[in-house]
């Protein structure tokens, strides 16, 4: 399994997709620096002092939400063809000609990509925090180590859960259809958060139930929202206002322990389904 992990990791790093996403990430961080530079040099009178507190929270939410989208997009692009591309080209025969079980092959693919996704997500979050700290953004400088660590754990779980689903799709579909379907399912979670938020706001149990149902199909945004709730401290009225609004895409109610258990079962369930389905494929 270690050999498959190593091969998968090296192939993913060498892909043009990873290089392009690396360039996009650097440009994104440069953009973050530029925004903070102009934001910190923004002079407001006493009547608009409250706006800066609200804007700090909005900026922080925005940069982390888009960073989550970036890392999940990278995960989908790299994982969409993890198995299907080797099935199409026949490379799978060379892989399985070794003393290697099919379950080990799938786990090797998963863990190889998981290492890369883990490193990318950690580096991206660290870069955002360091830049925010360097520019004395109050939502960043107010964070404790416990908040950062807890949010980091949840933050990296988002693309890992996406990866489990994407690997299953890679066994079932070809590269392009799988990639498009995974992107749709990921974005569906954002819609579910918005629907749930609207349902809570207008006190409609029907709309709220629809939002929860969508979030069960695509629980990734719910997981990300949990990381955001830990990461962003309440900054008076502004903080509570943005928490209620749920940021750019809505977040509904905070996730319960039951939801965390469901997401764990969701991810491991698709991993088990991946192994089971791959064992049944005739590759001769």
73-107 pLDDT, tens digit per residue, is: 999 999 998 998 888 887 777 777 667 788 999 99
Copy the structure tokens of residue 167: 């690997």
Alpha helices, H only, 135-204? 138-141, 145-172, 175-201
Segment 272-276 shows an average pLDDT of: 94
Per mean pLDDT, which range of 56-60, 87-91, 138-142, 215-219 is the poorest?
87-91
Q: CA 254 → CA 221, 227, 243, distances in Å? A: 11, 10, 10
pLDDT higher than threshold 50 for residue 35: yes
Across 268-278, b (16+ Cβ under 10 Å) vs e yields eebbebbbeeb
Segment 27-38 shows an average pLDDT of: 93
pTM above 0.95, yes or no: no
The reported pLDDT for the residue numbered 102 is 85
Residue of 183, 152, 191 whose CA lies nearest to 165: 183
Residues ≥6 apart with Cβ < 8 Å to 220? 72, 158, 161, 162, 186, 189
Give dist(CA 122, CA 163) in Å, integer.
16
pLDDT higher than threshold 70 for residue 236: no
- Long-range contacts of 201-208, Cβ-Cβ distance < 8 Å, separation of 24 or more: 208/252
Q: Report whether 57 contacts 106 (CB < 8 A).
A: no
CA 173 to chain centre: 22
The reported pLDDT for the residue numbered 234 is 53
- The HSE-up count of residue 21 (CA atoms within 13 Å, CB side) is 23
126-184 pLDDT, tens digit per residue, is 999 999 999 988 889 988 999 999 999 999 999 999 999 999 999 989 999 999 999 99
Rounded to 5°, the CA angle 232-238-239 comes to: 20
Give dist(CA 160, CA 274) in Å, integer.
15
Question: 22 vs 247, which has greater pLDDT?
Answer: 22
Give dist(CA 263, CA 278) in Å, integer.
23
Q: Report whether 217 contacts 188 (CB < 8 A).
A: yes
Copy the structure tokens of residue 237: 């009225």
Q: What is the largest CA-CA distance in the chain?
A: 74
Which of 49-63, 105-119, 132-146, 224-238: highest mean pLDDT? 105-119
């Amino acid at each position: 399994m270690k050999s498959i992990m190593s091969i998968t990791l090296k192939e993913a790093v060498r892909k043009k997709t990873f290089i392009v996403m690396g360039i996009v990430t650097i440009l994104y961080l440069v953009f973050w620096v530029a925004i903070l530079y102009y934001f910190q040099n923004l002079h407001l009178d006493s009547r608009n002092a409250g706006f800066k507190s609200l804007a700090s929270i909005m900026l922080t939410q925005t940069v982390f939400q888009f960073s989550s989208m970036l890392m999940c997009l990278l995960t989908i692009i790299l994982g969409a063809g993890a198995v299907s591309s080797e099935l199409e080209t026949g490379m799978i025969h060379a892989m399985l000609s070794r003393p290697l079980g099919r379950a080990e092959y799938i786990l090797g693919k998963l863990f190889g990509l998981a290492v890369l996704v883990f490193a990318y997500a950690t580096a991206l979050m660290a870069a955002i925090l360091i830049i925010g700290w360097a520019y004395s953004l109050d939502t960043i400088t107010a964070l404790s180590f416990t908040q950062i660590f807890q949010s980091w754990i949840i933050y990296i779980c988002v693309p890992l859960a996406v990866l489990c689903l994407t690997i299953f799709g890679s066994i079932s579909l070809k590269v392009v259809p799988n990639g498009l379907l995974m992107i749709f399912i990921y974005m569906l979670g954002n819609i579910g958060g918005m629907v749930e938020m609207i349902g809570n706001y207008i006190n409609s149990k029907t709309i709220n139930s629809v939002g929860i149902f969508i979030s069960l199909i695509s629980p990734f945004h719910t997981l990300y929202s949990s990381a955001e709730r830990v990461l962003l401290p309440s900054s008076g009225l502004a903080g509570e206002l943005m928490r209620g609004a749920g940021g750019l895409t809505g977040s509904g109610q905070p996730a319960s322990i039951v939801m965390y258990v469901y997401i764990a079962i969701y991810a491991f369930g698709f991993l088990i389904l991946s192994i089971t389905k791959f064992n049944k494929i005739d590759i001769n």
